């Protein structure tokens, strides 16, 4: 419950720093994904579950305990459904991921949190764009059109650049004019693989760990539902004996 409050606090603080709370209509202005939503949604769910489970157990409130069980069961069912659908409709998921990444590439300079998220993703998976560096043509600052007067024209963000272990300071201009070079030369200075295939490769390489994490979360959820239902049964049994 308190962790959920912390997540909500971080999300609201981030929105306050960006001026969103003073202009609520700006929530819909961002063309891409706002990472703050992750903190708000996860924090909200954690708080609701924590409050219902904790207060329900302390006050022996069967309504809150049943709500906790049902809510947790719905989350478990949605996770299970999402996993099955992702396995069955892999190509559709890949297309949606491609669309999602490209949509956020367009909004790269519009929000600092989104920019940091994209940079982290490209650096972590050593990738550039959804399926390649040319996806950055979708961004008005990086496209190669003659009408683009930006200094970043035909370039890529610094997070696409290959890292030199000898460099202690990040060169934020390393991606300038990178896509004007021949493809062989591009591979020396920037990552040319897209983030979608790199994510697929990472998933295959770490399938056991990822599966273990999801199974562990599922078992915890089932354990929580069982404990809540057991406590409800005990409370109702005691009340029936009065």
pLDDT given at position 26: 66
pLDDT given at position 28: 65
Question: What pTM was computed for the model?
Answer: 0.80
pLDDT given at position 95: 87
pLDDT given at position 29: 62
Strand, coil or helix: 228: helix
Q: What is the CATH number of domain 60-241?
A: 1.10.1450.10
136-to-66, 128, 198 alpha-carbon distances in Å? 49, 8, 17
- The pLDDT profile of the chain, 242 residues, written as one tens digit per residue, is 888 899 999 988 888 887 777 777 666 666 667 888 889 999 999 999 999 999 999 998 999 999 999 999 999 999 999 888 888 888 888 888 888 888 899 999 888 888 999 999 999 999 999 999 999 999 999 999 989 999 999 999 999 999 877 777 888 899 999 999 988 889 999 999 999 999 999 989 998 998 899 999 999 999 999 999 999 999 988 888 87
The tokens describing 41, both together, are: 């949604």
Contacts 24+ apart (CB under 8 A), 96-101: 97/130, 97/196, 97/199, 98/130, 98/131, 98/196, 100/33, 101/129, 101/130, 101/135, 101/195, 101/196
pLDDT given at position 77: 94
Rg (alpha carbons) of the chain, rounded to whole number = 23
Strand, coil or helix: 182: coil
End-to-end CA separation in angstroms for the chain: 33
pLDDT given at position 230: 94
Measured CA angle at 29 (ends 23, 35), to 5 deg = 90
């Amino acid at each position: 419950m308190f962790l959920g409050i912390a997540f909500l606090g971080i999300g609201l603080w981030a929105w306050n720093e960006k001026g969103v709370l003073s202009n609520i209509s700006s929530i819909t202005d961002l063309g891409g994904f706002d990472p703050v939503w992750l903190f708000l949604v996860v924090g909200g769910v954690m708080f609701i579950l924590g409050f219902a489970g904790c207060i329900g157990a302390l006050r022996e409130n069967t309504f809150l305990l049943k709500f906790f069980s049902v809510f947790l069961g719905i989350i478990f069912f949605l996770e299970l459904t999402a996993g099955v659908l992702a396995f069955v409709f892999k190509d559709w998921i890949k297309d949606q991921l491609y669309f999602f990444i490209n949509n956020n590439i367009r909004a790269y300079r519009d929000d600092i949190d989104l920019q940091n998220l994209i940079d982290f993703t490209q650096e972590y998976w050593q990738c550039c764009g959804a399926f390649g560096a040319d996806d950055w043509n979708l961004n008005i600052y990086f496209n190669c059109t003659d009408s683009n007067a930006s200094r970043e024209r035909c370039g890529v963000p610094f997070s696409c650049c290959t890292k030199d272990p000898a460099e202690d300071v990040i060169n934020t201009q390393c991606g300038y004019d990178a896509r004007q070079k021949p493809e062989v030369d591009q591979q020396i200075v920037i990552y040319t693989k897209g983030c979608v295939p790199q994510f697929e490769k990472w998933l295959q390489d770490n399938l056991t760990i990822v599966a273990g994490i999801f199974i562990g979360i599922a078992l915890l959820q089932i354990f929580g539902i069982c404990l809540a239902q057991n406590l409800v049964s005990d409370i109702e049994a005691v009340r029936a004996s009065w």
